[in-house]
Every structure is written in C-alpha cells, then in structure tokens.
Chain A
Amino acid sequence: MALKQISSNKCFGGLQKVFEHDSVELNCKMKFAVYLPPKAETGKCPALYWLSGLTGTEQNFISKSGYHQAASEHGLVVIAPDTSPCGCNIKGEDESWDFGTGAGFYVDATEDPWKTNYRMYSYITEELPKLINANFPVDPQRTSIFGHSMGGHGALICALKNPGKYKSVSAFAPICNPLLCRWGKKAFSGYLGTDQSKWKAYDATHLVKSYPGSQLDILIDQGKDDQFLLDGQLLPDNFIAACTEKKIPVVFRLQDGYDHSYYFIATFITDHIRHHAKYLNA
C-alpha cells in the first residue's frame, strides 16, 4: 500500500497534501487529500473524515470549504477521499452525474458490474482508516466523520452502522432518506439490486430506528433555499422525526437563504469543525 504524494501545500501552519494509492477494496488507484495541522508535527491528532457529495472529488472540499483555519486551530487531521472509484472502465459509469463515477453513494455494491469496484463503504470505514492510521500521526480512538449531501448520507450511515467508531458526526444538507428519493432509488437499485430490504442497511432514517443508543451528537445544517431540499431529495424531516422518536440527539439548523453550494458549507464549516473538536478533543 505505497502512498504516492501528489501535492503538498502549506496552509495555516500545516500541510495540505494529496496522495494516490492502489486501493484493494476498489481495485483502482484512488486519491485522497489529507490536512496535517501544526500539532501533527509533535503528536498524534484526531482524524476527521470528510465525505463529498455527488460529482465531487478529493479536490472540492479542500479548495472550496475553507476549513483549514479551524482544523489548524483545533489540531485535527482532516481526510477527504474521492467519492467513487475512477478509471475502472465499467460500462455506463460516466453516463450520468448521479450514478457511477462521482456517485458511489458510500455503499458496497452487490450487483454486477459494480460490485468489484464500487465498495466505497468498506473503503471509507476499513481500508482508508487503516491506511491513514499506518501512515499519519493520528489517534485511531478519536475519529469523527462528516459530509455534504451524498457525503452527508455517507457520514450518517457510517456513524449509525458503527456505533462507537465515530465520536461525532455532522452533515451539510445530507440525503437523509435515500429510499424515498429519486437519487437514492436510482443508485441503490443499480448498486444493490431491486430488493429494497437491502437498501435499508444504507438508509440513515432506517438505521436510526435500529441504532442501539450509544451516544452520538449529530449536527445538521440545511440551507432553506436548497433546491434539492425543495425537490424532495434530502428529506431531513424524516430523519429528525426518527431521531426524535429514538431520542438520538440532533440539532438541525435550517439556515435561512442558503442553498446547496460550497458557499453554504463555507459559512458553517467552522461550527462543524468545532462540533467535532468538542468530542475529539474532550
């Protein structure tokens, strides 16, 4: 698992780096970005995983969100992987922006032709953490996860499917209930097949209902003027209702006037970094 450094830039006293490696899970070369705060020079730091949304790569987040200052101050190593395998030459993978390349949906595909490469869930929860723990000064016991849109969905399911693995979770405009939205239906049917019972294993709202109750503080920011919210792709109310019922702590903030863009993310990224830092640095 040799790492190849693609780039390294100093930022807020730390280093924003991009690496490439050969992924076993995904059977392809994968890139990921990692920010090493100044604190990482002297000791192990908590690791915070960021999952980008549809069409994103490792680059979106590191170039647009402006998270570096907060991460530097709180001493967090922030890892931003790509959103899907790439260059696998699977037929139809580049046909649409909401399926295939750039739309891995953080599931382990069970259907041909995707199942050999599209194993983003295992990549994010298993392979990548091992890689990071082995190669960077991080404390495996202190890990959190957050994401945007599809990445928000990914963050929620990773946290809910692995109680105790993540100290905290947060999301910007997450796809909360993919079973009931068009994006989710398209992706899940493609990757998981038509058996909808299998889908529930990757649906945050459903996962909450069976969540065993290890304390998890969830922060969700949602732009009120997000067209995908209005389009019914995100369905946060379902998730909140489920959390209220199951007494899973969520603070859901509906931010007036914000849309789905990185401008919205950049506005509240500091709150989210602090939210994670509170648990990671407690």
Chain B
Amino acid sequence: MEEESGEELGLDRSTPKDFHFYHMDLYDSEDRLQLFPEENTRRRKEVVQAERANESTGAGDGKAQRDLQEEVEELVHLYGLEDDHELGDEFVENMPRMGVSEYPPYGMKRRDPAREQRDWRLSGEATEAEDLGFGGWGSAGQCQDLREVYRYTHGRASEEYECYVIPEEEDEEEAADVFCVTCKTPIRAFQKVFDEHKEHEVIPLNEALESAKDEIHKNMYKLEKQIIDMENFANHLEEVFITVEENFGKQEQNFESHYNEILETLAQKYEEKIQALGEKKKEKVEALYEQLVSCGENLDTCKELMETIEEMCHEEKVDFIKVKCPSILISVSFYTNRLGKFLKTKTDVEISTQPDFEDQTLDFSDVEQLMGSINTIPAPSAPVINPQTPNSATGSSVRVCWSLYSDDTVESYQLSYRPVQDSSPGKDQAEFTMTIKETYCSVTDLVPNTQYEFWVTAHNRAGLSPSSERAVYVTAPSPPIIKTKEIRSCEEAVLICWESGNLNPVDSYTVELTQAESPEASGVTESVVGIPTCESLVQLQPGQSYVIYVRALNTGGPSTRSEPATVHTIGSYFRLNKDTCHPWLTISQDGLTILRSERSTPTKEPPPSDTHFTRCVAVMGNLIPVRGHHYWEVEVDEHLDYTVGVAFEDVPKQEDLGANCLSWCMRHTFASSRHKYEFLHNRTTPDIRITVPPKKIGILLDYENSKLSFFNVELSQHLYTFSCQPHKFVHPCFSLEKPGCLKIRNGISMPKHVTFY
C-alpha cells in the first residue's frame, strides 16, 4: 500500500490536465501512463512502468502477437502488480530483449533515446526499461488500447464506473438543468425537446438530487438498521454460545455423576459377589476337609482291625499248637463282633460337596436402570411455594404461586390443600388435590376468611418430587353488614356501625364513601382504612348525601363491599336507645316515636337499673359523639305532661330528669287547665311563663357555645337557653309523665331563627 500512495502522490504532482479523463478507475493504468522522467522515482515504480511498456508494445502491434500477450498475462498474474522486487528485476531484464527481437522498428526508434538516457542516468537496466516504455506510447488511442488490455489482464470490470464518469465530464462542460428519469441521467432542458429524451419523463435536477439524497438516506438507514440487527444477532449468538457452554457444563456434570454412580454400583456389586463366592468356597473346603478327616479315621479303624485280626490269625496258629484255646476263642469272638459292627457301619464314600460352584447369574438390572436414567431427565426437586401475596385473595378464592428450580424439568404439579383448623386435631380435614401445568393456580370455591394449608409437588417422567413446604393462605373475609338502624350522623360526621359478617376475626375494616349528590354518580370515593373495630366516626361535608360501604380485610385481601347505607349530613340524626327505655314505654319501629299507652300502667315500679330508666318513664337517644351543633324537634300534645332535654349517658336512672346535675330539661305539666313550663337542671328552674303552648319543640344543643336552647318551632319563639358546660357528650332524653306520645323529628336542618341563639 505504501507504494501505491507514493504513486498517487506522484500522480497528483505530475499528471497533466489531459489525463483527468481517466479518472480513478484507471488508477493503475494512469500509473503506467505517468511516463515523465522523474529523478527520484523509486526503482520499483520503474519496474512497473517497464512492465506496462511491454504490455503496450504487445497490444499496439496487433492481434497477431497472441503468444506474447499471453505470456505477459501470465507474468502479470504471476508477479502480481508491482510488489515483487526480485521477480520484477528479472522481468525487467527480459523484457527489452523480447521487445527488441520482435519489433525491430520500434526497437530501433527506441534505442537511441535509450542510449542517450543511459548516459546521463545511473539506474542502468531499469532506466532502459523506462525509456522503452516511454517510447511505446505514441497516441491517446494507444493509451485507450492499453487500458483495455489492462482491464482484460486484470479481469476488472470498470464499466459501472465509466457510465457515471462520462456524464460527469459533460456536466462540467455544460451544466444540465433537468433530470431524465427514464435514462437516469441529467440532461439539459432543450435536450428534452429535441433529443432522444423527447418521450421521457423529466424532473428538475434539484428535485432529482433531493430524491437521490432521500434514496441514499433511506439506504443508509436500512444499512444502519441492518448493522444494528446484525450486532444484536451477534450478541444473541454470543449469549447462545454462553448458554451452550453452560448447558454443556451441566450435562457433563450430570453425566459424570451418573457414571460415577454406576461405577460405584458396579464396584459394590463386584465386591458383594466376590465375597459371596469366597464364602461358598470356604464352606466347600471345610466340608471336604471334614469328610477327609472322617475318612482318615475310618481308614485307621480299618487298618487297626485288620492288624488285630491278622495278629489273631497268627496267634491262632501258634495257640492251636499251644493250648490256649479257650481264651483265644473269647478274644476271637470279641473281634468278630467288633468287625461285624464296623462292617455294618456304612462307610460313606460319597463326596459330600460338589467341586462345582453354582452358576451365579449376575443381576445387572439396577445398573441397567441407572444406565438408562443417564439419558433421561432426573426427577424434579421439591418446588418452592410462595407465601401469599397480600390482597390477592377473594372471599372464595386464593391465588397460589410457587416456583421450580431452574434445572428441573416439570411436566405438571400437584397442588394439595386443606383448611387449617386449630381444634379437633384428631379429625382429619378433607384434602383436595389438583393437577396443574402452570406454576400458579387460582383455587376457588373456598370458605371466606379461612386459612388453608397448601403444598405442591412437581412431576415428570422420572417421577415425583418431594413435597414443598406447606404455606398457609387465607381467603378474604365476607363483607360486613352495616347496622343501618344504628347509623348516627350530624352535619359534620357520621358514626357507622357494622357486624363483622365473619366468624373468625379479621384484620381491619375499610369504610368507603361516595357523595351521592351529583347525578352523574361519578363522585370520588374516599376511604377510611385500618379500622380495627366494628364502628367508625367519619368526618363529612355538611348538607350532602353519601353512600357508604364497608369492607373487611385480612392478609388475603379485602372483602367485597357491604350493602350500601345512605347518610345525609343534614341536621343530626339519631334513634332512640331501647336499652335505656323504661318498661312502660314503647318505641316505634323507626326508633323515633315514644308511646306510653293508657292501660299498661302497673302500679308497681320496676327494679332499679343502671341502663334503663326505672322511675322516670324515660328513654334516651343515641346522639353522635361530635362536638358542634345538634338540633332536633319533638312533636308534643299541648295537654301532655312531658320532659325533653339532654342528659349524660350515666344520668341516674332512678331519678327524674332535671333532678340532678347530669341533665338539662324542659318539663311541661298541664294541671287545672294551666300549662306549666319548667327548665330544670339540678332541681331548679327559672320562673318563665309561656302564653302559647308549643306543639313542636325545637332543641338546639350547641357544644361550641355551651348552650342548650328550646324553641316553639311554629312561632319561631325562643323559650329558654341553658348555659351548660357538658364535660362529656350528652344524649337527648325524653320522658312521658302521663300516657301519650312523643314524636321525634331529626335529620332536619336548623331553622334560621335558631341561629340567633
């Protein structure tokens, strides 16, 4: 490359203007065209030029010189371009000779300048070659030919360059102003009219330029995208490589452990078999030895008998001669007996033990199984069951999740559960099992607010995993039941009570409020959360209607909403507290009407009580424990004896209202056609006369200003105001001293005249 750049420099410096025609594609050719002598041109370049010169001579002389041309081609191919110094040298040496012999006329011409040059040049043969080359080119036509030759020799296709190059040349001469789409070439506008472009579609050049740019940008974008894609793909491949590596490691480990296991099993089996065999051998040898011993013993006995008999026989012969007959006879008979016995004893000559060992069948079944298991997957390990996700349960379902170890292959899971019960441990609760493909399951048809124990096993072809740990999940509670009859409210708040709706305790309750005033009912829902008890005092805006729901919560989640309750924050709303009711009084269904009937007036007073009134025939209302204003009205009969007012919850139930410091009351008595109105507190009353008996009494309890005021509602007449400082919450109280009826009106807004007090 170094050489090339050097040449390029040379080109830039020395290329005459005319030569720009050949442009870059003819780079190599141009090198060869650069024929002007240069003092400091390196030798290699000279060599190349010599080579070119040779080519040109071949080409210029016509087609007849095939051989040479081929030779040249060969050489060019052989030597490459210009890199090889040594070969180049050789080449240079050969070339002139060939040229001289074949083409004398040229050679003659060339000789002279060559010789001259030789005089003043120092580079010898190389210089000669250069001269030769120089002489070789006479015209531009020759150059063209040379280029063609070069193109052929190198097999280079430079057409595509040319087709662009040539128009550009024209551009410079006379600027085109339109672009022929059909020909894909810029043309001049008049050409459109006369030329072959007559029928063609033309567009302004800058437009064409723009579209060409767009095209280029698009292509660039495509290429960029492709690059990114390829990079991603490469990354992916890299990951795959790593995964393959990992998987290989795992598999290798797996195989290793399995083969080790098999080898161990085999070794163990071998040991066992060898040991068993040894024992059998020992057994046989011992048996044979024993037999051998007994055999020897028998032999000895035989021998002994034989000897004795032989002796006896010998003695007999002697003794027959000597007279010792009787004793010998005795001894003979003795031995005869013994012999007889011995002979009777069956001498066992059967071999008790066979020298052969029994054929031992080698049992490789378990090994085979092990071998078999190498290629199959192992049984999964125990899955890990997750603890319950908070708020994931409903009243009848829980969502159970678990996970497997990443190495395991699992076909399915078996999820089992049963309710957790503290009591009756002996009695097993029914267990339920289901098969699941996923690692989660929504288990339905459960009992609300109940704990269930879940465990899971994984399964594949190889078998069943051990069971997971047991996890306790709990279903969400049942919705609470709002005690609508116990709702108390005022302008600023509501006290709402409910029944849990669940047998087991729940964690907390949530109260949800929606303002029902807007007809779109898209009111924002507010929530009061974390209520531990079954009642809640919720702050509200005055003069609104609210729909209230309650939910019960445990770790499993919230219950569904309770049935709604509607609350209006207009005035104060309460009901009568039947627990405080004197036995002679009857409270209506709506909890707002008090009736003392004519006939049921027993003479005997009921026994004292702390919760309900026993002497004074009274009842209390359940006012919301909120400081502020409370207003209610009582409809009375103007001839009725009644007492209305407020009292503390712990007001003595055996005393009359107003007869102590714990109550403030207005009492009306009607006797001998005279109305008497008393405003009683601690047995005292101001002296007040009222000319028009009220039929409806308004009562205003004002905690802020520590006042309790009474009004004749119909006349807007103020009757009396107590200054009282209730240290705790008071409740409305009512009593009927004579048979009759009081009707309470509450949940009504305060009349304006009341606001002056």
A interface, CB within 8 angstroms of B: 215, 217-219, 224, 240, 243-244, 247-256, 274-275, 277-278, 282
Q: Is the CB of B687 within 8 A of A250?
A: no
Measured between beta carbons, the chain A residues less than 8 angstroms from B752 are 282
Q: Is the CB of A250 within 8 A of B686?
A: no
Q: Given A274-B757, A277-B756, does the pair A254, B688 have CB atoms closer than 8 Å?
A: yes
Measured between beta carbons, the chain B residues less than 8 angstroms from A252 are 688-691
Expressed in whole angstroms, the Cα–Cα distance for A224 and B688 within the complex equals 11
Q: Given A240-B691, A248-B692, A277-B756, does the pair A254, B686 have CB atoms closer than 8 Å?
A: yes
Chain A contact surface mostly: mixed
In the complex, residue of chain B having the shortest beta-carbon distance to the beta carbon of A220: B689
B118 in the interface (beta carbon within 8 A): no
Q: Chain B 669-706, CB within 8 Å of chain A: the 1/0 string?
A: 00000010000000000111111100000000000000
Expressed in whole angstroms, the Cα–Cα distance for A274 and B705 within the complex equals 16
* Contact residues, B709-750 vs A (CB, 8 A): 712, 715-720
Measured between beta carbons, the chain B residues less than 8 angstroms from A244 are 675, 691-692
Output the least CB separation between A142 and chain B (Å). 15
Expressed in whole angstroms, the Cα–Cα distance for A85 and B81 within the complex equals 147
Q: Given A244-B691, A274-B756, does the pair A249, B717 have CB atoms closer than 8 Å?
A: yes
B23 in the interface (beta carbon within 8 A): no
Expressed in whole angstroms, the Cα–Cα distance for A274 and B754 within the complex equals 11
Output the least CB separation between B633 and chain A (Å). 17
Expressed in whole angstroms, the Cα–Cα distance for A98 and B757 within the complex equals 38
Q: Is the CB of A250 within 8 A of B690?
A: yes
Q: Given A275-B718, A278-B756, does the pair A247, B692 have CB atoms closer than 8 Å?
A: yes
* Contact residues, B639-688 vs A (CB, 8 A): 675, 686-688
Q: Is the CB of B687 within 8 A of A256?
A: yes
Measured between beta carbons, the chain A residues less than 8 angstroms from B717 are 217, 249, 251
Measured between beta carbons, the chain B residues less than 8 angstroms from A282 are 716, 752-753
Q: Chain B 134-163, CB within 8 Å of chain A: the 1/0 string?
A: 000000000000000000000000000000
Measured between beta carbons, the chain B residues less than 8 angstroms from A275 are 718
Q: Is the CB of B718 within 8 A of A278?
A: yes
User: Which listed residue, A215, A253, A274, touches B688 by the CB 8 Å rule?
Assistant: A253
Q: Is the CB of B691 within 8 A of A249?
A: yes
Q: Is the CB of A249 within 8 A of B687?
A: no
Measured between beta carbons, the chain B residues less than 8 angstroms from A219 are 718
Q: Which of B689, B690, B691, B756 has the most CB of A within 10 A?
A: B691
Measured between beta carbons, the chain A residues less than 8 angstroms from B753 are 278, 282
Expressed in whole angstroms, the Cα–Cα distance for A40 and B718 within the complex equals 27
Expressed in whole angstroms, the Cα–Cα distance for A219 and B686 within the complex equals 15
Q: Is the CB of A249 within 8 A of B756?
A: no
List, sorted by A's number, 19 A–B pairs whose CB atoms are closer than 8 Å.
A217-B717, A219-B718, A243-B691, A244-B691, A248-B692, A249-B712, A249-B717, A251-B688, A251-B689, A251-B691, A251-B720, A252-B688, A253-B688, A253-B689, A254-B688, A254-B689, A256-B687, A274-B756, A278-B716
What are the nearest 8 A-B pairs in CB distance?
Answer: A254-B687, A250-B691, A243-B691, A252-B689, A244-B691, A249-B692, A278-B756, A249-B715
Output the least CB separation between B264 and chain A (Å). 106
Measured between beta carbons, the chain A residues less than 8 angstroms from B712 are 249
Expressed in whole angstroms, the Cα–Cα distance for A82 and B43 within the complex equals 144
Measured between beta carbons, the chain A residues less than 8 angstroms from B719 are 251
Expressed in whole angstroms, the Cα–Cα distance for A274 and B716 within the complex equals 13
Measured between beta carbons, the chain B residues less than 8 angstroms from A274 are 756-757
Expressed in whole angstroms, the Cα–Cα distance for A254 and B679 within the complex equals 13
Measured between beta carbons, the chain B residues less than 8 angstroms from A224 are 687
In the complex, residue of chain B having the shortest beta-carbon distance to the beta carbon of A278: B756
Expressed in whole angstroms, the Cα–Cα distance for A247 and B757 within the complex equals 24
Expressed in whole angstroms, the Cα–Cα distance for A256 and B750 within the complex equals 31
Q: Given A274-B757, A278-B756, A282-B753, does the pair A250, B689 have CB atoms closer than 8 Å?
A: yes
In the complex, residue of chain A having the shortest beta-carbon distance to the beta carbon of B712: A249
Expressed in whole angstroms, the Cα–Cα distance for A219 and B688 within the complex equals 11
Expressed in whole angstroms, the Cα–Cα distance for A255 and B687 within the complex equals 7
Expressed in whole angstroms, the Cα–Cα distance for A249 and B675 within the complex equals 14
Measured between beta carbons, the chain A residues less than 8 angstroms from B715 are 215, 217, 249
Expressed in whole angstroms, the Cα–Cα distance for A248 and B690 within the complex equals 10
Output the least CB separation between B163 and chain A (Å). 98
Q: Is the CB of B691 within 8 A of A248?
A: yes
Given contacts A247-B692, A249-B692, 4 further A-B contacts (CB under 8 A): A248-B692, A249-B691, A250-B689, A254-B687
User: Which listed residue, A215, A253, A278, touches B686 by the CB 8 Å rule?
Assistant: A253
Q: Which of B688, B752, B756 has the most CB of A within 10 A?
A: B756
In the complex, residue of chain A having the shortest beta-carbon distance to the beta carbon of B690: A251
Output the least CB separation between B385 and chain A (Å). 74
Expressed in whole angstroms, the Cα–Cα distance for A167 and B174 within the complex equals 111
Q: Is the CB of B686 within 8 A of A256?
A: yes
Q: Which of A251, A255, A275 has the most CB of B within 10 A?
A: A251
Output the least CB separation between A77 and chain B (Å). 18
Output the least CB separation between B373 and chain A (Å). 100
Q: Chain B 481-503, CB within 8 Å of chain A: the 1/0 string?
A: 00000000000000000000000
Expressed in whole angstroms, the Cα–Cα distance for A240 and B716 within the complex equals 19
Expressed in whole angstroms, the Cα–Cα distance for A1 and B712 within the complex equals 44
* Contact residues, B251-308 vs A (CB, 8 A): none
Expressed in whole angstroms, the Cα–Cα distance for A197 and B688 within the complex equals 32
In the complex, residue of chain B having the shortest beta-carbon distance to the beta carbon of A275: B718
Expressed in whole angstroms, the Cα–Cα distance for A278 and B721 within the complex equals 15
Output the least CB separation between A232 and chain B (Å). 18
Expressed in whole angstroms, the Cα–Cα distance for A266 and B101 within the complex equals 156
Measured between beta carbons, the chain B residues less than 8 angstroms from A256 are 686-687
Measured between beta carbons, the chain B residues less than 8 angstroms from A217 are 715-717
Measured between beta carbons, the chain A residues less than 8 angstroms from B689 are 240, 250-254
Expressed in whole angstroms, the Cα–Cα distance for A240 and B275 within the complex equals 133
User: Which listed residue, A215, A218, A253, A277, touches B687 by the CB 8 Å rule?
Assistant: A253
Measured between beta carbons, the chain A residues less than 8 angstroms from B756 are 274, 277-278
Expressed in whole angstroms, the Cα–Cα distance for A107 and B689 within the complex equals 28
Expressed in whole angstroms, the Cα–Cα distance for A249 and B753 within the complex equals 15
In the complex, residue of chain B having the shortest beta-carbon distance to the beta carbon of A242: B691
In the complex, residue of chain A having the shortest beta-carbon distance to the beta carbon of B692: A249
Expressed in whole angstroms, the Cα–Cα distance for A274 and B691 within the complex equals 20
In the complex, residue of chain A having the shortest beta-carbon distance to the beta carbon of B753: A278
Expressed in whole angstroms, the Cα–Cα distance for A89 and B691 within the complex equals 44
Expressed in whole angstroms, the Cα–Cα distance for A254 and B687 within the complex equals 5
Output the least CB separation between A50 and chain B (Å). 19
Output the least CB separation between A209 and chain B (Å). 13
* Contact residues, B426-463 vs A (CB, 8 A): none
Expressed in whole angstroms, the Cα–Cα distance for A224 and B686 within the complex equals 11
Measured between beta carbons, the chain A residues less than 8 angstroms from B675 are 244
Q: Given A217-B715, A274-B756, A278-B716, does the pair A247, B691 have CB atoms closer than 8 Å?
A: yes
Output the least CB separation between A71 and chain B (Å). 14
Measured between beta carbons, the chain B residues less than 8 angstroms from A254 are 686-689
Output the least CB separation between B675 and chain A (Å). 8
Expressed in whole angstroms, the Cα–Cα distance for A132 and B757 within the complex equals 30
Expressed in whole angstroms, the Cα–Cα distance for A248 and B687 within the complex equals 19
Expressed in whole angstroms, the Cα–Cα distance for A277 and B718 within the complex equals 12
Measured between beta carbons, the chain B residues less than 8 angstroms from A253 are 686-689
In the complex, residue of chain A having the shortest beta-carbon distance to the beta carbon of B687: A254
Measured between beta carbons, the chain B residues less than 8 angstroms from A255 are 686-687
In the complex, residue of chain A having the shortest beta-carbon distance to the beta carbon of B674: A244
In the complex, residue of chain B having the shortest beta-carbon distance to the beta carbon of A253: B688
Output the least CB separation between B647 and chain A (Å). 24
Measured between beta carbons, the chain B residues less than 8 angstroms from A215 are 715
Expressed in whole angstroms, the Cα–Cα distance for A224 and B687 within the complex equals 9
* Contact residues, B49-71 vs A (CB, 8 A): none
* Contact residues, B348-403 vs A (CB, 8 A): none
In the complex, residue of chain B having the shortest beta-carbon distance to the beta carbon of A245: B691
Output the least CB separation between B442 and chain A (Å). 66
Expressed in whole angstroms, the Cα–Cα distance for A274 and B755 within the complex equals 11
Output the least CB separation between A218 and chain B (Å). 8
Expressed in whole angstroms, the Cα–Cα distance for A277 and B752 within the complex equals 12
Expressed in whole angstroms, the Cα–Cα distance for A240 and B686 within the complex equals 17
Output the least CB separation between A74 and chain B (Å). 9
In the complex, residue of chain A having the shortest beta-carbon distance to the beta carbon of B689: A252
